[in-house]
A = this chain, B = another copy of it.
């Protein structure tokens, strides 16, 4: 069974372009380097311009672990902190 993730992130006022640039690089690295990733889609809320979600699907828990342990996640993801307004909320699902 595949694993679905919804990561909800709140961005500081005025940091949305920085945030989007980092996620653009991160999404590119995920697609290029993670064969176990099936979906990595960043989305901006239509209701709150500082709210984003990332829809993610991995073919297994191992593929999800490989994502979290990857060099690109650590190095590119490190730039996210200063753009965020709080801790990301991560929800875990099994695909049906």
Binding site for B on A (CB under 8 A): 4, 6, 20, 23-24, 39, 41-47, 52-53, 55, 57, 91-96
In the assembled complex, 24 residue pairs joining A and B whose CB atoms fall closer than 8 Å, in A order, are: A4-B41, A4-B43, A4-B55, A6-B53, A6-B55, A23-B96, A24-B96, A39-B41, A39-B55, A41-B95, A42-B95, A43-B93, A43-B94, A43-B95, A43-B96, A44-B95, A44-B96, A46-B92, A46-B94, A47-B91, A47-B92, A52-B96, A55-B55, A55-B57
A96 to B41, CA, bound (A): 8
Q: Are B53 and A93 in contact (CB under 8 A)?
A: yes
Q: Are A57 and B44 in contact (CB under 8 A)?
A: no
Q: Is the interface of A mostly helix, strand, loop or mixed?
A: strand
